[in-house]
Structure 1
Amino acid sequence: MASRVTSTTFVGRAPELTELRAGLTEALNGRPGLAFVAGESGLGKTRLLSELERVAREDGVRVIGGDCVELGEGELPYAPLVGALRPLARSGHEAFGQLSEPARAALAQILPGLGRAEGRVDDEATAQARLFDGLLELLELLAGDEGLLLTIEDLHWADRSTRAFLVYLASSLCREKVLVVTTYRPDELHRRHPLRPLLAELERDSRARRVELRPLTREELAAQLSDILGAAPRADLLERLFARSEGNPLFAEELLAAGIDGRGSLPPTLRDALMLRIERLSPDAQELLRVIAAGRRLDHELLVEASGVDPRVPVREAVAAQLVVADEEGFYSFRHALLREVVVDDLLPGERAALHLALARAMEKRAEGLPGAHLAAGIAHHYLQSGDQPAALVASVRAAQAAEAVHANGEAAALYSRALQLWDRVADAESLAGLDHVQLLRNAAWSTGREHEPGRAESYLRAALNELGDSDPERTADLLELVAREQFNQGRSAAAAETRRTALDLLPDAPSPMRATLLASTAKELMLESRHEEAVEAADCAIEVARAAGELVSELRALDAKGVALFGLGRFEEGEVSLREALERARNADLLYKLSVHVNLADSLTVAGRLGEARAVADEGHELAAKRGVPRRWLALLRAELAFEAGEWAVAEAALPTPARPAMGTTFINDALRRIELALGRGDHETARTLLDQAEDVAADTREPQWIGPLGALRAELERRAGDLDAAVAAIDNALDRLDFCSQDVPRMARVAASGVRVHADAAVRARDLGEDPSLAIAMAEGLLARVEACAEGERPVEAAFLLLAEAELARARGDEDPELWTAATEAWVALGRPYRAAQARRRRAEALLAAGEREAATAAAAEALASASAIGAAWLSSEIEGFALRARLRMDDPDEPSPPSAPTATDDGEDPFGLTPRERQVLALLADGRTNREIGNALYMAEKTASVHVSRILSKLDVRSRTEAAAVAHRVGLV
């Protein structure tokens, strides 16, 4: 028999360790990342991590780690994070003293030893994100200058909150010197395992590494056995163990530990080999192993309480047999998860139930009242496994409430669902649980809705409504309000409005908090749909009721909605008064709600053409959010949007969250829009198309113009650039049809309609280039211009700029371009502080000047446009201007030097500066007339194939992509 179980030599994982060390080195250089170590049980994932931790400590890196816990449906929230941080919190690590007050308050919820920081936390909708921000701040402090290695083992058992935090880390790690390394078993990931989509997303990130462990080779196994045996293994033993273990190092070790010397029979499986070692222990030690197997990780006191015996001697026996290990906190657990699984599988049903019952009672005794989330989840799990359904119901409700207290919504939803399943099996369930079935359904819906499952949440609420009947109008109205929220989250805004009307009809006319809530929600949703007049009316009603009922949050929500709607109606001064009142009153009441007012005020100021003020408001909100430790993704996206409009594209890109972080619903649309604009500006049309497809799919059922308008305009621009004018027209028509439906969103209507004029101008130009009738395209452009004119009525500077742009585009459509129209559009956008749109107008002005024969002025205008586009980083616009200048033979390197004359016509002799031969100019003339290759060949007495070759050469020499573009160039620069 081997004298020891495990090899002290690190064998066969040098490449994998090198890969992980490279990740650690990058993290220490300010490029944090995540690594995922995949391997079946027994292949050495833990050993690899141990070696990485050893070398990290030798390099002065701080190392912390925790394990995910296999407990029911993963309802133990933040298990590995708490396990990693709890020892540091208990020891009073200095990093905890350096935390900001918001971070300390958030972390105190999962690490009670921190106490509670002063300050009110009132925005439960963002509580988990505040906790995640606090965790990230702590990790950064722990990393310091030396770096931090955080290890998380058994990710396949991770709870939902831990998985969510990993997603957050993937998007939020920036320059922190942090490397997160996780391990998981691929064979545990069944088709619907929740880790599958998460890994598929995270492992694609450029900063993520995937390390897959393989079985040991024969030579590597020989090295492992040599260290265990103290001498090289005999050839026959090596062959037998290699054949049986198939290179699994744990199996090989356990075969030796079971007493195999190469002459006896081998256990058929790894589990059999493990069971042989367990059966050699004394009965007391085996019994203690059963308790530890049921409890998974237990301290000395719980072992005593659950087993009823002094565990010191049998535990020492199990530790000496290298089956059980004790960690720094004094908890006992199995050396390897498979050892525990073997013991659990060997338990008889009655034994298993008795062990779980003993553990549940021991934990409950320790809890002394409402326990923390971890202990509560453990109690609920053990009571359920014991078969004591009344106790399991009570414990599940308490555990769900404890999970809600630490904002672990997924775990709370799972526990409430379990309580619902137990309800009908327990006598006097309402008395035991401390709440009725309707309230339990409401709680389940609340937690489920926060996990972005609106359909399932609505089903819980419908069940509650059916059960409640007509007995309690106030509770019914409350449930209906939640139904309406979930309907709106599913894009069913009409149904949500009808549901709220039903709820209001149930309530007495007297002011009440519930009526104020319903009215404020109605006003907000009408505002989001740009039904501004209705929103103002609903908001005024909500404000009156909320003030009478003393419901401050509802009053502020209504003021916010009213302010945005007034801006939408062009009543800018009134709107600003309403929004600033909401902002000031929220600030005085110390409500986090004011951060959403920052978003809406900044957005509204942008609509009014006050971009600089809008950016200041957004910056103020972002700074305040950082100080308060609340999520600021929407503020970050708004700052990116405003920076883009201001021409500061590098700032806009830096403000964006990393694309690895998943988003849902309108947050995804908002995020995608910011990236689409940048991609189009830089000419990355493939990325823009992918994001547009995704965003349009998410927004398919939305009725919010703030998404419909930009998506339609950007789609039209993308298709216009690709030359598919039919698709561009369809995008404009679709967007306008959706905006026309009960919407008063003038700013988005103006943008889409102006974009439509541009598309139809392109269509008219193309028609003339091909010798076709442009009248239909011109008529369509005129109709859209009328829309923009209607939008620009009154004092609306942004819409007025779109009108000037549309008027210039219409002149282009008519074939009568006027440089002065483009000058007016340019000046309007410059006055609004939007250089990208101004540069686009300058580019068109240069073309109009050239068409008017003013080559020197066109050269200067093109140079000015190119300088503006280059300063912004607008690569696509820059390339368009450069291509125009090249085709028009404008001297861009020195605009003060006269440009050469326009290109010779097809009747001139010799070759022109584009390198066209006389024959190619003849072909170009026919191509510009709309002739096909066959028609060109017949006219010039050449084969169709020869004509095709000439056309290809012409396209190449003119640096254009299509016959249509070639014809347009020929007409504009006088080649035909």
Structure 2
Amino acid sequence: MGTRVTSARVVGRSAELAELRAALLDAAARRPSLAFVAGESGVGKTRLVRELRQLVAATPVAAPVPSVAPDRPAGATEEAGALVLAGECVQLGDGELAYAPLVGALRPLLRDAHPVLETLDPATRRALGRVLPGLDGAGEAPGPDVDDGQGRLFEALLELLDRLAADRPLLLILEDLHWADRSTRAFLTFLVRSLVQERLLVVGTYRHDELHRRHPMRPLLAELERDARARRIELRPLDREELGELLADLLGTPPDEALLGRLHGRSEGNPLFAEELLAAGPDGRGALPSTLRDALMVRTERLPADAQELLRVIAVGQRVDHDALADVAGLDPRPLRDALREAVAQQIVVVDEDGRYAFRHALLREVVDDDLLPGERAELHRALATVLERRLAEGASGVHLTSGIAHHYAAAGDQPAALRTAVRAARAAREVHAHGEEADLLERALGLWPAVPDAEAIAGAPRVLLLRDAAQAHAHLAEHERAESLLLAGLDLGDEQDDPRLTAGLLERLARAQWALLRPLEALATTERALGLLDGLVCVEHARLVSWKAKARMLQGRYGEVVALAREALVLAHAVGDRISESRARNALGVALAATGRPDDGARELRRAIALAERDGAVAELGAGYVNLADALHIAGRTREAREVTRTGLRVVPAPGSDHRWQQAVLSELSFALGDWDEAAAVLPDVTERRSSEVGRLNLLLRHADLALGRGDHEQAAALLPEIELLGERSTEPQFHVPVAMTRARYEERVGDLDAARRAIDAGLDRIELCAEDQARMALLSAIGVEIEATAAQRERDRRADDGPARERASAMLRRVEAAAADAGPTERANLLHARADHDRACGVDDHATWVAVAAAWEALEYPYPAARAHRAAAEAALRDRDRAAAEASLAAARSIAERLGARWLVADLERLAARGRLRATEPPDAAAPEERPAADRAADPAAEDPYGLTPREREVLALVADGATNRVIGERLFMAEKTASVHVSRILAKLGVRSRTEAAGVAHRQGLVD
């Protein structure tokens, strides 16, 4: 009876195949999809995606094309098979083989000269040429300061995928994501966030049992799998019946019950394990190995000696072409062919599309590699490195080649060669903007440095430059602590007077790292130290330092100083031809102009900064340009435009890490302001994943606190506040001083501690007045101060206490708002209207019409949340004036907005107000507008005198409650039993919708229910 090693068909995976098929149909209908296939080793992930490929090749994909598709009639369908691209991640050292699965997936396009490649513009071809040598020249490698082109490469890859999917769906398969390199992980993040209507299905496979707690793919997969377009397909082991089908296919006849039971018990339903156990012995009995590793070793040990030697070479090389295999194995052509045929015939080795040999399954490779003796493994690594070095000398190129050489020399223990090739591979990684791989390779080189004699000559560069470049690579990944330590090590290597320009360059990078770590005073001191070294020198380093200082002072709100520094930096930048310095200087200048009443001039400078950064591919400056342009527009009241700018920035600046997360936080802030709280929450990164700089983390925490307070999740807000305040204390930026103080004040006001809220406002104002000229943010914080003092004054009047101090503080806060609002834009004007209305409330002259005007001002800006709060204040003012129709109209407007936003605390507050005033929650269908209803009608309304339904007796009781009388005193004064007085008080609290006697007294005074 013949026995195959691998089943000819997929068993027990019909539901999973259907799910993948559905995802592909979505992609065909211009709804890009993602599918992640997870499972343990050997459970059949690769087999499943191979079956999907065969299914796609054999069956056309039909899906309706939406009417938005260009040049296609509504309801049209397209019959076309999907294009399939597939690549796999490689387990190589620390994952320094950048873009491995993408290169593997795209290489067939280059090999087959796919016509789409000819349609790409030269810039896109050049960018792709960095990872696909042969498509176009890769160009010169950028210097260490201009290596921000990863975004440009990602855009080029996206454009290629989009063009490939123009006429038929594209299936992109990326296998073994648990081994994904940093750059592939970054591209996956970018791709998911950039897809809109591409006909693309991305299928990724990974071993969930490989994802330990600190595995870098773990947080990324958690984030990606939360996407609404994502599917997670987990492959379970086969049950007994399904395993029987598999064995029947292998054996050619159904297995007997004994064999089935034996194999199911030993394999536990793992298809690969079952296949290998059967291949090791058709009866599944006796001395068969008890582990999968042993089962796989039995397979390989049955091969002839020459074939086993080839397996060892392939295990070390992972994917080896015929010539390299011949060179390393040292076999003559005929024995080599015979050995390879045997390994392929036994289904241990397969041949890929590029003619390279690899193991059929990664587990097979792993057990062979594990079985190698240390010296044997080192010898094979050295031999493979020698073969690849020869190819490099003959003109071959590519980051994978240089990385492979470096890996093999390191694994061989050849330290001089490992140092030399690690530096070379790091430069190649920088050329393709693979910052993570560059950092890993440079760290390896630096680790080898002390052990290698004459290391500088072998590396081709002094150690200080390797430290500088490694720090820059880490900075791109928001790993600022490591960048700082590397820069300090570089500064310790020499006398700063020996090479002041080099030292100044190191200090500039150090200052930026210190700023990101929320140590601004150190950062500025470092900047001044560097400037002192360059006094009188006109050079790139000088231009970078002055432009950086301009940016730092801009972040601190020192706008007068910023203008002078920015103009000085522009002169230096033009003199040395450095566009990065020019972009940074124009960025700082634009923010300063916008913040000092010249928003159009500021926006113009910021757009020029963006254009300069885009021309050079300077992602850091490009991201800062989009963020600051959005902020300037938002402050000017053009928030919807600001949100579109931010969305563009997220598409154009796909920098992974903190830069990208900052832009997401900005988008969340703008969506929150515009009332789209669902988007605000959806785009906001999870704060439990600490992948941001300290300053970036503070920004994220504040955005989460905004949402928590808005939605009424006070427990979450309280949990976030300690870290927010701890980080905020270390900052000197008004962009943080104000929201930190606002968050604490809002929380304390919400829970009723007005003294704590007042302290938060005072502390925030003290900080911003000492270090900034940011009038707009100062006015925003002061306006909240007016609101808190108004509530405090109201509370004092409720207690029949002196409200004078609160009114005086409210007036002082209002003067700050008025000073900032002079000749200001619509946001400041709306803020001023709100503050004046609160000041009126502090003085006890609350007016419904004033609050209606405030709500209209916020609505004109499309800010629904403050508009809803103004409507709520208008309802209470109308209720106090006994104008029930106006109160109900304002209440209905507030509730409509609050419910749409999901502001649960505000909805609850409005319900309490409605209950106290016995108001309808929605406006009557034909109710006249408040201003159109005659006063006589309002006076004639019986409920106007008694909006809460209190009886005359209850009004008498309430008057005594307002005076602070106890139940016993009430009974004595009104000649009733104390128990009867208690019942009256309980009914009054229920009718007023309050929970305490103090609240009842406040309502009584504010609504004129007592004298």
**Structure 2 residue aligned with 1:154:** 176
Q: Secondary structure at the match of 1:467?
A: coil
Is residue 283 of structure 2 the alignment partner of residue 251 of structure 1? no
Superposition deviation, residue 340 in structure 1:
0.9
**Structure 1 residue aligned with 2:451:** 425
- 2:234 aligned partner, one-letter code: E
Contact (CA 8 Å) 2:646, 2:667: kept in 1 or not?
Answer: no
Query: 1-side partners of 2:192 and 2:342: how far apart?
Result: 43
Superposition deviation, residue 524 in structure 1:
0.8
Contact (CA 8 Å) 1:526, 1:532: kept in 2 or not?
Answer: yes
Query: 1-side partners of 2:485 and 2:423: how far apart?
Result: 20
The equivalent position to 2:312 in structure 1, one of 290, 309, 321, is 290
Residue identity over aligned pairs, in percent, reads: 51
> Which of 350-359 and 658-667 deviates more?
658-667
**Structure 1 residue aligned with 2:99:** 78
Query: 2-side partners of 1:224 and 1:598: how far apart?
Result: 56
> Which of 101-110 and 700-709 deviates more?
101-110
**Structure 1 residue aligned with 2:541:** 514
**Structure 2 residue aligned with 1:167:** 189
Superposition deviation, residue 173 in structure 1:
3.6
Deviations 1:752-804 (A, max 9, x none): 11012112212332343355554443343233223324434565664454334
Query: 1-side partners of 2:368 and 2:138: how far apart?
Result: 44
Query: 2-side partners of 1:474 and 1:848: how far apart?
Result: 66
Query: 1-side partners of 2:722 and 2:27: how far apart?
Result: 35
Q: Secondary structure at the match of 1:65?
A: strand
Q: Secondary structure at the match of 2:36?
A: strand
Query: 1-side partners of 2:485 and 2:156: how far apart?
Result: 34
Q: Secondary structure at the match of 1:36?
A: strand
- 1:894 aligned partner, one-letter code: D
Superposition deviation, residue 447 in structure 1:
0.8
**Structure 2 residue aligned with 1:373:** 399
Superposition deviation, residue 157 in structure 1:
1.5
Mark the CA change 1:599 to 1:230 in structure 2 (over 3 Å): closer, same or farther: closer
Mark the CA change 1:932 to 1:220 in structure 2 (over 3 Å): closer, same or farther: farther
Is residue 345 of structure 2 the alignment partner of residue 316 of structure 1? no
Written as runs of structure 1 = structure 2, the 5 A alignment for 1:230-309 is 230-309=252-331
The equivalent position to 1:485 in structure 2, one of 507, 512, 515, is 512
- 2:44 aligned partner, one-letter code: G
Q: Secondary structure at the match of 1:810?
A: helix
Q: Secondary structure at the match of 1:488?
A: helix
Superposition deviation, residue 245 in structure 1:
2.5
**Structure 2 residue aligned with 1:895:** 927
Mark the CA change 1:397 to 1:257 in structure 2 (over 3 Å): closer, same or farther: same
Q: Which runs of 5+ in 1 are unaligned?
A: none
**Structure 2 residue aligned with 1:788:** 817
Query: 1-side partners of 2:519 and 2:681: how far apart?
Result: 32
Contact (CA 8 Å) 2:810, 2:839: kept in 1 or not?
Answer: yes
**Structure 2 residue aligned with 1:448:** 474
Contact (CA 8 Å) 2:590, 2:601: kept in 1 or not?
Answer: yes
Query: 1-side partners of 2:423 and 2:341: how far apart?
Result: 38
Contact (CA 8 Å) 2:98, 2:182: kept in 1 or not?
Answer: yes
TM, length-normalised to structure 1? 0.86
Is residue 135 of structure 2 the alignment partner of residue 114 of structure 1? yes
Is residue 833 of structure 2 the alignment partner of residue 807 of structure 1? no
The equivalent position to 1:342 in structure 2, one of 355, 367, 374, is 367
Mark the CA change 1:495 to 1:932 in structure 2 (over 3 Å): closer, same or farther: farther
**Structure 1 residue aligned with 2:465:** 439
> Which of 200-209 and 328-337 deviates more?
200-209
Q: Tell me the matched-pair count.
A: 966
Deviations 1:444-466 (A, max 9, x none): 11111111110111111111111
Superposition deviation, residue 688 in structure 1:
7.4
Contact (CA 8 Å) 1:902, 1:973: kept in 2 or not?
Answer: no
Query: 1-side partners of 2:991 and 2:188: how far apart?
Result: 53
> Which of 467-476 and 622-631 deviates more?
622-631
Query: 2-side partners of 1:206 and 1:566: how far apart?
Result: 41
Contact (CA 8 Å) 1:598, 1:617: kept in 2 or not?
Answer: no
**Structure 1 residue aligned with 2:386:** 361
Query: 1-side partners of 2:3 and 2:998: how far apart?
Result: 83
- 1:664 aligned partner, one-letter code: S
- 2:731 aligned partner, one-letter code: T
Written as runs of structure 1 = structure 2, the 5 A alignment for 1:19-38 is 19-28=19-28, 31-38=31-38
Superposition deviation, residue 366 in structure 1:
1.8
Query: What is the Cα-based RMSD across aligned positions, in Å?
Result: 4.5
Superposition deviation, residue 269 in structure 1:
2.0
**Structure 2 residue aligned with 1:388:** 414
Mark the CA change 1:806 to 1:618 in structure 2 (over 3 Å): closer, same or farther: closer
Q: Secondary structure at the match of 2:41?
A: coil
Query: 1-side partners of 2:972 and 2:197: how far apart?
Result: 67
Written as runs of structure 1 = structure 2, the 5 A alignment for 1:825-844 is 825=854, 837=866, 840-841=869-870, 843-844=872-873
- 2:737 aligned partner, one-letter code: I
Superposition deviation, residue 488 in structure 1:
0.9
Q: Which runs of 5+ in 2 are unaligned?
A: 62-80
- 1:252 aligned partner, one-letter code: A
TM, length-normalised to structure 2? 0.83
**Structure 1 residue aligned with 2:423:** 397
Superposition deviation, residue 107 in structure 1:
2.8
Superposition deviation, residue 498 in structure 1:
0.2
Contact (CA 8 Å) 2:146, 2:616: kept in 1 or not?
Answer: no
Q: Secondary structure at the match of 1:152?
A: strand
Deviations 1:226-248 (A, max 9, x none): 22122232333333333332333
Q: Secondary structure at the match of 2:451?
A: coil
Mark the CA change 1:718 to 1:23 in structure 2 (over 3 Å): closer, same or farther: farther
> Which of 393-402 and 550-559 deviates more?
550-559
Query: 2-side partners of 1:587 and 1:14: how far apart?
Result: 48
Mark the CA change 1:175 to 1:882 in structure 2 (over 3 Å): closer, same or farther: farther
Query: 1-side partners of 2:752 and 2:34: how far apart?
Result: 42
**Structure 2 residue aligned with 1:39:** 39
Superposition deviation, residue 598 in structure 1:
6.0
Superposition deviation, residue 289 in structure 1:
0.9
Mark the CA change 1:265 to 1:939 in structure 2 (over 3 Å): closer, same or farther: farther
Deviations 1:516-555 (A, max 9, x none): 2111111110011102233234334333444444444424
Query: 1-side partners of 2:734 and 2:94: how far apart?
Result: 41
Mark the CA change 1:121 to 1:347 in structure 2 (over 3 Å): closer, same or farther: closer
Query: 2-side partners of 1:924 and 1:462: how far apart?
Result: 72
Query: 2-side partners of 1:850 and 1:225: how far apart?
Result: 80
Contact (CA 8 Å) 1:637, 1:655: kept in 2 or not?
Answer: no
**Structure 2 residue aligned with 1:331:** 356
Q: Secondary structure at the match of 1:267?
A: coil
> Which of 89-98 and 329-338 deviates more?
89-98
Written as runs of structure 1 = structure 2, the 5 A alignment for 1:366-765 is 366-368=391-393, 371-470=397-496, 471-570=498-597, 597=625, 600=628, 603-604=631-632, 606-607=634-635, 609=636, 611-612=637-638, 649=675, 653=679, 657=683, 659=685, 664-665=692-693, 701-717=730-746, 719-721=748-750, 723=752, 725-726=754-755, 728-765=757-794
Q: Secondary structure at the match of 1:111?
A: coil
- 2:385 aligned partner, one-letter code: A
Superposition deviation, residue 383 in structure 1:
1.0
**Structure 1 residue aligned with 2:69:** none
Query: 1-side partners of 2:135 and 2:961: how far apart?
Result: 78
Query: 2-side partners of 1:86 and 1:238: how far apart?
Result: 43
Query: 2-side partners of 1:168 and 1:957: how far apart?
Result: 56
- 2:253 aligned partner, one-letter code: A
Contact (CA 8 Å) 1:639, 1:655: kept in 2 or not?
Answer: no
> Which of 513-522 and 723-732 deviates more?
723-732
- 2:441 aligned partner, one-letter code: L
Deviations 1:620-668 (A, max 9, x none): 79769968999996778767766776x5x45994998575798734566
- 2:36 aligned partner, one-letter code: F
Q: Secondary structure at the match of 2:35?
A: strand
Mark the CA change 1:888 to 1:52 in structure 2 (over 3 Å): closer, same or farther: same
Contact (CA 8 Å) 2:45, 2:205: kept in 1 or not?
Answer: yes
Query: 2-side partners of 1:444 and 1:284: how far apart?
Result: 44
Query: 2-side partners of 1:830 and 1:589: how far apart?
Result: 41
Mark the CA change 1:962 to 1:388 in structure 2 (over 3 Å): closer, same or farther: farther
Q: Secondary structure at the match of 1:523?
A: helix
Q: Secondary structure at the match of 1:114?
A: coil
Mark the CA change 1:956 to 1:419 in structure 2 (over 3 Å): closer, same or farther: farther
Q: Secondary structure at the match of 2:174?
A: strand
Superposition deviation, residue 501 in structure 1:
0.8
